[in-house]
């Protein structure tokens, strides 16, 4: 932990204030859903996902999804194939990559601090 974080933690520890909530916190905690409700929610979600997967498999949806993904990939590859770089100056490309490297380096340095 660096010095700034220690100073902030010390400041908040020294200036901690307690407020009387007249049992508000206890009432809120009592109204939260029980663990059983959370477990039932997860089971229900898993059951719905399983039914959806079975429905897709039984109705031939996998072939439809495969076709859609194949078309998207084909469009993506076709877009790259149609890019015309003959009018791009090598200087512009070098400046672009130097800028990209500079931004990446700056982000790497900032993320370490």
> Do 56 and 62 touch, CB atoms closer than 8 A?
yes
pLDDT of residue 1: 63
Asked if 76 and 90 sit in the same domain, the reply is no
Which domain covers residue 93, as residue numbers? 85-112
Are 37 and 76 contained in the same domain?
yes
Q: Please report the pLDDT score of residue 17 as a whole number.
A: 81
**Residue 89 contacts residue 83 (beta carbons within 8 Å):** no
Q: What is the pLDDT of residue 15?
A: 84
Q: Verify that 90 and 75 share a domain, yes or no.
A: no
Tell me the percentage of the chain whose pLDDT exceeds 70.
99
Same domain? For 89 and 78 the reply is no
d(CA 110, CA 104) in angstroms, rounded, equals 10
As for how many domains the chain has, the answer is: 2
pLDDT at 75: 93
On whether residue 8 sits in a domain, the answer given is no
> Which token pair is 99?
């800028």
Regions of the chain with pLDDT less than 50: none
């Amino acid at each position: 932990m660096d010095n700034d974080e220690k100073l902030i933690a010390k400041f908040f520890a020294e200036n901690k204030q307690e407020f009387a909530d007249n049992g508000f916190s206890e009432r809120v905690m009592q109204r939260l859903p029980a663990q059983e409700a959370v477990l039932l929610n997860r089971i229900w979600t898993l059951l719905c996902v399983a039914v959806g997967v079975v429905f897709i498999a039984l109705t031939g949806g996998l072939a439809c999804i495969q076709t859609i993904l194949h078309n998207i990939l084909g469009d993506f590859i076709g877009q790259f194939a149609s890019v015309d770089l003959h009018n791009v100056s090598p200087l512009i490309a070098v400046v672009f990559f130097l800028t990209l490297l500079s931004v990446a380096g700056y982000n790497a340095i900032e993320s370490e601090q």
